[in-house]
Copies of this chain bind each other. A is one copy, B any other.
Amino acid sequence: MKTRKQSTKAEVQLSIKPTARPTVAALEKQLQRTWKVLDHGFVRVVDYMGDDSAIVQAARVSYGKGTKTKSKDKNLIFYLMKNGHTSPFEMCEIKLHIKLPIFVARQWIRHRTANVNEYSARYSILDAEFYLPPPESLGIQSTNNKQGRADAVTTDYATKVRDTFRGDAIHSFHSYNWLLNDDGDGHPSDLDRPSLSREIARIGLPLSTYTQMYWKIDLHNLFNFLRLRVDSHAQREIREYASSILKIVSHWVPISYSAFLEYQLHAKIFSAAQLAVISEIALGNKPTFEKSGLSKSEWNELSFLLNPKSAQDGI
């Protein structure tokens, strides 16, 4: 049975043409490159629109902000990021080609403000490629973080886990192969002796199966994605994709990238009750956990203020 199979190589576009559009030399280089992620996945920049200047240009229409020297551009972008003026960042857009396991794609697709074209297993046959976590990724169930994983399991346990995943996945793909290529009676299927439809045959494949998609999103919403998916609470696998994309962003819009780190990724929000505790400290008082009204985790977030010594020691 012949059907177009899923390309495992990203097709790289190479023809160079002149354009009057804003261009970013550092990102142009990325257009030729594929970022490897996990064992078989990748991220690749297919196209982009806009640069740091496009953000400045849009902001100046909206906010009518001052003059145009280089340092002012940086000031303006930092001002926008700090004050949550997000619409100018929507004026930049990026299109990525991504290969990823289905369970990662399921988390990814929850970000609704993007455009997506995913490989369809109704029309085409999926390659026998699945994600097999490396031993160091096989963490035990975290007890203090219900959604996460803690330390890696022992080498011996890891081997058993990987053997299980590998064996089951190979078995499922074997069944998939049989369903698509056998007429149900031991003969290769053909037009006269057809096999099962693709859309049904694929339902037994594991969530670790790789899929592909084109994903297009504006910079503001990409920052939202990155803030949530670079975070330590995100599942490790999607975090690896997010980390690669974060690096791509640093090539694309270096000023906005710095502003994002400063005011979002490395910033911290304190609740009303936490601010009250901070004020107490600044007044020289010694607030206590009991009187603070904070939860244990909120209290701990202030440890670097409550016990600066330990914070300094990195404890």
Interface residues of A (CB under 8 A from B): 1, 3-4, 13-23, 28, 31-32, 47-50, 54, 57-59, 61-66, 78, 82-84, 87-88, 90-91, 93, 95, 101-103, 106, 109-110, 112-113, 115-120, 122-124, 131, 133, 137-143, 146-150, 153-154, 156-157, 160-161, 164-165, 168-169, 171-172, 175, 178-180, 183-185, 191, 194-200, 202-209, 212-214, 216, 218, 228, 233, 235, 261-263, 266-275, 278-279, 281-284, 295, 298, 304-306, 308, 311-312
A126 to chain B, nearest CB (A): 10
In angstroms, Cα B15 to Cα A151, docked, is: 47
A172 to B165, Cβ gap below 8 A? Answer: no
Q: What's the dominant secondary structure at chain A's contact region?
A: mixed
B131 to A200, Cβ gap below 8 A? Answer: no
A136 to chain B, nearest CB (A): 12
A58 to chain B, nearest CB (A): 4
B47 to A50, Cβ gap below 8 A? Answer: yes
A117 to B216, Cβ gap below 8 A? Answer: no
A234 to chain B, nearest CB (A): 10
* Shortest Cβ distance from A279 into B: residue: B304
Question: Which of A117, A133, A164, A263: most chain B CB closer than 10 A?
Answer: A117
B47 to A82, Cβ gap below 8 A? Answer: no
Known: A266-B275, A267-B271. 10 other contacts (CB 8 A): A13-B22, A19-B23, A61-B118, A93-B216, A112-B113, A131-B203, A141-B197, A153-B196, A216-B218, A268-B269
A262 to chain B, nearest CB (A): 5
In angstroms, Cα B152 to Cα A196, docked, is: 9
A205 to B204, Cβ gap below 8 A? Answer: no
In angstroms, Cα B58 to Cα A145, docked, is: 20
* Cβ-defined partner of A21 (8 Å) among B19, B106, B175, B208: B19
In angstroms, Cα B108 to Cα A109, docked, is: 11
Neighbouring B residues of A270 by C-beta, 8 Å: 267-270
Q: Count the copies.
A: 4
In angstroms, Cα B139 to Cα A194, docked, is: 10
Neighbouring B residues of A18 by C-beta, 8 Å: 16-19, 23, 28
* Shortest Cβ distance from A64 into B: residue: B124
A262 to B273, Cβ gap below 8 A? Answer: yes
* Cβ-defined partner of A203 (8 Å) among B32, B103, B118: B103
Neighbouring B residues of A139 by C-beta, 8 Å: 196-197, 200
A138 to chain B, nearest CB (A): 6
Given known pairs A47-B50, A119-B62, A143-B191, the reply for A279 and B311 (CB within 8 Å) is yes
A147 to B13, Cβ gap below 8 A? Answer: no
Neighbouring B residues of A103 by C-beta, 8 Å: 202-203
A88 to chain B, nearest CB (A): 6
A203 to B101, Cβ gap below 8 A? Answer: yes
A313 to chain B, nearest CB (A): 11
In angstroms, Cα B184 to Cα A154, docked, is: 9
